[in-house]
Amino acid sequence: MVNKRDLSPASFIGVAKKGLISFGSGQPDLPPPDAVYQILPEYRDFKYGLIQGLTTLRVALAKQYPGSGKDDFVVTNGASEALDLSLRVLASLNTKLPKKVLLAQPYYYSYPHLIQFSGLEPVYLQTTRGRIDLDDFRDKAKQCCAVLINSPSNPTGRVESVETLKEIEKITAKLGIYVLSDEVYKELIYVRDNYLLSGPHVVTINSFSKTYAMCGFRIGYLWSRDKTFVERVIAMKTHSSMNTNILGQEMALEATKVPRQFIAGQLKIWEQRRDLLYQGLFELGLDVWKPEGAFYMLPKIDRPRDFVWDMYTKHKVITYLGDWFGAPGSVRFSYALDVEKIDEGMRRLREYLSGRK
Ligand SMILES: Cc1ncc(COP(=O)(O)O)c(C=O)c1O
């Protein structure tokens, strides 16, 4: 058991105890499509696979991205590896551009670490109630070799407007800098369709973890029209993780064949949970934005470290500290759990807040 001062995501990831309600981890509780398991009884392959990824899977992905071909993709160990490789490739490029990456704050908690592991430096963007401030963006993008965009956002649930995303395309194209667009929540938008950022220096990152609830199988990918960038990613992967898990890739291929109703059905469930949690937090008087995508909320909470600690140790409820996401004074709630558990979690939260001094 960790102590209160050293709390980190690792204190909670994978923790499952009887009676525990977790608003912590961002892993869907809904099962993957049945089809992904159907290959298992017949599956016999065990050898190394192509570093770039299973050809049939890349062909299937290319059908989802207009104007793309199978060679523009690299299949990775989750979006996490796609981010890691992209950042390390960026750091290795022989350009005069500053070795800095621009990202919005609050951010997905791994971003600053991954940027620093690659030898680059994070530069943080102002946001106004979770939205990118374009003036700040214009100003700071000039000092960077790349920007990292995450819409819908973990942890805010914000979806940037199409106008903002188009402006980002224009500004970055003019500066000749890269855009890493982490779109792992692109199918989980409640307010409009996804807008796919595009351009010669855009690297799109995606995953089967969230849309198809396959996070433990670790299948993600990157897509870019920049052939040199893709080749460098493959070269780096050759000497680091080599191929991505071949069984997981076959399962992901099956997921690409599942009718779109699967995704639409999941989205309805997420939306119902969002409304339930939002209503509950709002009624408790917490300052919280209604998410437009993904499955997170980021209410403001007084003394958030005490809150996270007490909720866990006294009320058996996991929540994540806003500090981890660059959002001090807040706590992140994931609503990747069923409505009965959300109701029970809210009951415990009410009980705690009513007794809080
Ligand atoms: C914004 C964002 N990017 C990337 C990841 C990592 O996804 P994967 O499981 O595909 O590595 C997550 C997981 O929570 C995430 O929220």
CA of 109 to the centre of ligand 1 (A): 10
- Counting DSSP H helices and E strands in the chain, the numbers are 10, 14
CA of 9 to the centre of ligand 1 (A): 13
Closest ligand 1 atom to residue 207 Cα is 10
Q: Which residue in the block uniquely carries the two structure tokens 């003394």?
A: 303
- Summarize the confidence of residues 327-349 as an average pLDDT: 97
- Summarize the confidence of residues 97-124 as an average pLDDT: 98
Best residue for ligand 1 mutational test, from 86, 103, 209 (most atoms within 8 Å of Cβ): 209
Q: Report the distance separating Cα 106 and Cα 126, nearest Å.
A: 9
- The rounded percent of the chain whose pLDDT value lies above 90 is 93
Please, what are the domains in the chain? Answer: 9-31+261-354 (3.90.1150.10), 35-256 (3.40.640.10)
In this predicted structure, what is the pLDDT of residue 157? 97
The H-or-E segment that residue 127 falls in is strand 127-128
Q: Is the pLDDT of residue 1 over 80?
A: no
Model confidence at 274, in pLDDT bands (50, 70, 90)? Answer: very high
In this predicted structure, what is the pLDDT of residue 235? 98
- Summarize the confidence of residues 211-232 as an average pLDDT: 97
pLDDT tens column, 142-189? 999 999 999 999 999 999 999 999 999 999 999 999 999 999 999 999
The finding on whether 106 has its CB within 6 A of some atom of ligand 1 is: no
Model confidence at 326, in pLDDT bands (50, 70, 90)? Answer: very high
The finding on whether 9 has its CB within 6 A of some atom of ligand 1 is: no
Which string of DSSP letters, residue by residue, matches 179-227? Answer: EEEE-TTTT-BSSS------STTEEEEEESTTTTS-GGG-EEEEEES-H
pLDDT tens column, 284-324? 999 999 999 999 999 999 999 999 999 999 999 999 999 99
Q: Is the pLDDT of residue 139 over 80?
A: yes
Q: Whose CA is nearest to atom 7 of ligand 1?
A: 79
> Which tokens go with 115?
């940027």
pLDDT tens column, 34-61? 999 999 999 999 999 999 999 999 999 9
